[in-house]
Amino acid sequence: MTEIVPVSGPELVTYADELAALMIEAVEAGASVGFLLPLDREAAAVWWRERAAAVDAGGQQVWIARDDERVAGTIGLARATMPNARHRAEVAKLMVRPSARGRGIGRALLTAVERSAAEEGLSLLVLDTETGSDAERLYRSAGWTPCGSVPDYAADPYGTLRGTTLYYRALGHPETSAP
């Protein structure tokens, strides 16, 4: 059974090595999540540990999918920091272990983020993903709206420049108080 849970900053530090292993597997399988091959395990673990302060400060949230006590997937949400953007956040680093794909874990992680964001009063989520990727098919089937593509936006894990498609998901209107 897979359980989707948010993690605190200290928990993120605790899971850093396992999340590093997940990230390496995802990148080796072709996931374009900002890293190139070969990805050093310690460098990946450091990257995760460096997110802990942002999680503790509330600027970032991270969820993990635990499958038999092993991390099978993860997703992040980065809140916008400018005063005129506090209604939105960016979904980032959705990754599922290649051996766990096809079981709905990516969809469950995405749903958990959407639900949490709506409960927090956010009304808009954005993300970007490699054009034509499996992730893009997931976002489209989950009701996300593509709003444009940028050619040669980022290198894939092998260093080849690829296009990126931008997506958004409207969660509703933020609550307003009467004057």
Residue 133 carries which DSSP code?
A: S
CB contact at 8 A, 79 and 30: no
Which tokens sit at 154?
């980022």
pTM of the model: 0.94
CB contact at 8 A, 56 and 8: yes
Q: Is 177 helix (H, G, I), strand (E, B) or coil?
A: coil
> What is the span of the domain harbouring residue 119?
2-170
Give the chain's domain count. Answer: 1
pLDDT tens for each residue of 87-139: 999 999 999 999 999 999 999 999 999 999 999 999 999 999 999 999 999 99
176, part of any domain: no
Which DSSP helix (H) or strand (E) runs through 125? Answer: strand 124-130
92, part of any domain: yes
Q: Is 69 helix (H, G, I), strand (E, B) or coil?
A: coil
